[in-house]
Amino acid sequence: MTPKDIDWSNLGFGYIKTDKRFVANYKDGKWDDGALIEDENITMNECACVLQYAQTCFEGLKAYRTENGDVVCFRPDLNAKRMADSCERMKMPVFPEDKFVEAVKAVVKANADWVPPYGTGASLYLRPYMFGSNAVIGVKPATEFQFRIFATPVGPYFKGGVKPLTIRTCDFDRAAPKGTGHIKAGLNYAMSLYAIVDAHECGYDENVYLDSATRTYIEETGGANVLFVTKDNKVVTPKSDTILPSITRRSLMQVAADYLGLETEQRKVRLDEVSDFVECGLCGTAAVISPVGRIVDGDNVITFSSGMEKMGPTIQKLYDTLTGIQMGRIPAPEGWICKI
Ligand code: PLP
Ligand code: COI
């Protein structure tokens, strides 16, 4: 496939091989310089730590084509920092944050033809990741690692684009207190696969997880943080040590306060108060802000007053402002846009 074969406006969220990816190797206590390569396949030992004990973590960010034709990334320094946090928790060597950002830029530049045209709703998704690559059979960290970044053009994460989603509270847990919910470890996603397949089979778009200690508070979904809007237009997001600190959510809270003049609050959100909110959205790099029309909790069906047809007005304003900043239509706060 080449960029010319793509129907950009109808692209889903899937993998398409692009031209170049970045690869660096860690051995004998240090990272090599890394390089851009063409081969998308990886050969490794059958006993590699990642294959046996899931020693791997990853990131996700996007490159956009702006209104004036520039190619930009959104806050890659925060992905570099979060990956460093993930690596420390997973006993993996940190890939230096400045080199992470340089490698992101190099991958985007090398795949510039794959950055979707402005106005199509598509973007170039970048997936940095690291894994323990040498053979390990006793339970211990690897001593050799590979860091890679590939790029793939994507459209909306949820089918149907911006049509409100129906999600359900999940009977399974995502993250334990003092576990790995706050980092982007592959294992968090492996254990969500059973629940997501079951949710889809039961007709739901996603699972929203509750805190595993008490099952009374809203946490997040399998791949996004949650935002709520109150009747008096305050933007509320759950506070928890066991959810991923979403860069999109942190940015949206700042957009709500500084661009839209809204009150914002990060606090614990009880499941039994969700019916008091008027709008709900899922936010993340892949999800952007996807509106939630309904949350099903057993027999209790909570339908937000924004309804099942379109985004609520406040979520819409947040969406328009954030995507406006990313696409160069609205001036960005200092340091948010990284021009390639
Ligand atoms: N929560 C989870 C579990 C995720 O996988 C993601 C995706 O990265 C997010 C939240 C959103 O984070 P971000 O906005 O940094 O992409
Ligand atoms: C992202 O938003 O970048 C993620 O990693 C979420 C994943 C579910 C695709």
pLDDT (tens digit, 0 to 9) for every residue of the chain, 340 residues total?
A: 899 899 999 999 999 999 999 999 999 999 999 999 999 999 999 999 999 999 999 999 999 999 999 999 999 999 999 999 999 999 999 999 999 999 999 999 999 999 999 999 999 999 999 999 999 999 999 999 999 999 999 998 998 767 899 999 999 999 999 999 999 999 999 999 999 999 999 999 999 999 999 999 999 999 999 999 999 999 999 999 999 999 999 999 999 999 999 999 999 999 999 999 999 999 999 999 999 999 999 999 999 998 899 999 999 999 999 999 999 999 999 999 999 9
Distance from the CA of 299 to the center of ligand 2, in angstroms?
30
Please name every residue paired with 71 in a beta bridge, in sequence order, or none if there are none: 65
Strands (E), the chain: 21-27, 30-31, 35-37, 56-58, 61-65, 71-74, 123-132, 145-154, 165-169, 206-210, 218-221, 225-229, 235-238, 264-267, 279-284, 288-297, 300-303, 337-339
For residue 72, CA distances in Å to 11, 117, 154 come to 20, 12, 15
Q: Is 234 a catalytic residue?
A: no
Whole-number Å distance between alpha carbons of 47 and 139: 12
Model pLDDT, residue 161: 67
Q: In this structure, which residue's CA is closest to atom 2 in ligand 1?
A: 223
Model pLDDT, residue 166: 96
Nearest-atom number in ligand 2 for the CA of 60 is 3
What pTM was computed for the model?
A: 0.96
Residues with CB under 6 A from ligand 1: 60, 220, 223-225, 244, 246-249, 284-285
Please name every residue paired with 30 in a beta bridge, in sequence order, or none if there are none: 27
Show the tokens assigned to 261: 């003049």
Tell me if 70 sits within 8 A of 120, measured CB to CB. no
Tell me if 186 sits within 8 A of 245, measured CB to CB. no
Nearest-atom number in ligand 2 for the CA of 58 is 5
Q: Is any atom of ligand 2 closer than 6 Å to the C-beta of 186?
A: no
Longest dimension (CA), the chain: 58
